[in-house]
Chain A
Amino acid sequence: MARIIPNENTWIGFTAAVVADISAPKAATLAAAIDLTGHCISLNASARGNTVPTPSFDSLFETSTTGTSAATFDADFYRDDEDDLAWETLPRGTRGTFFIARYGGSGANNLPIAGDDLEVWTVMVTSRTMANMSSNTVLTFTASCAVNVEPAEDAVVAT
């Protein structure tokens, strides 16, 4: 493996199914997920940590300790007058789980199978926003999500 771009590598799926163990989702769950790879333009699934200052009078060095962490999730998708899958799958209020195999999986069309690495993000769609409509520009929208479970960024597909 080398430094790669997401095109023809990354696989993105979404399921409504409850994933019992997000660190080891079942291969069958991924196989049943809706494949949104071909509808996705960009995706931002990222975690952020906070540090808490802990200075004291006995030192000029300002120490800190670990604080809380949080995550954001939003993604841009195409609208399509013949196959509007992403738009129809992700209305506001939808609960579900995104599977992100940044390097793709070993299965057909980069589908992750048992043993493959991936990220698992359990979310709820908070908005589904159309991009500004303008001349000579393809119609797209942004799905913004709340991340209501700590994501599994080092998950491995189970059998």
Chain B
Amino acid sequence: MAAKQVKITKDGEEGFCMESSVAAWERNGWTRADDGSSEEEAKVTERPLETQAKTTKEG
């Protein structure tokens, strides 16, 4: 799902949130890392879907 996300930081922690939720994060001490003029099209790295079903060849 491609959605516009905003890079935010707090105390050295970095992450991305939805544009619509920036205010909620800011109220909790997070700050947006960009200047607010352009939202980043975040490509959050996904880990492998380790738990996704695999075909079992046993039996």
Contact = CB atoms under 8 A, between A and B. Distances in A.
Interface residues of B, number: 35
A95 B44 contact: yes
Contacts of B23: 88
Contacts of B53: 68, 70
A54 B51 contact: no
A18 B21 CA distance: 17
Interface in B1-37: 1, 3, 5, 8, 10-18, 20-21, 23-25, 27-30
A50 to B, nearest CB: 8
Interface of B is mostly: loop
A144 interface: no
B24 A88 contact: yes
A142 interface: no
A93 B41 CA distance: 13
Contacts of B52: 68
Interface of B: 1, 3, 5, 8, 10-18, 20-21, 23-25, 27-30, 44-47, 49-54, 56, 58-59
Q: What 5 A-B pairs are tightest by C-beta distance, nearest first?
A: A16-B15, A88-B24, A54-B59, A17-B15, A17-B13
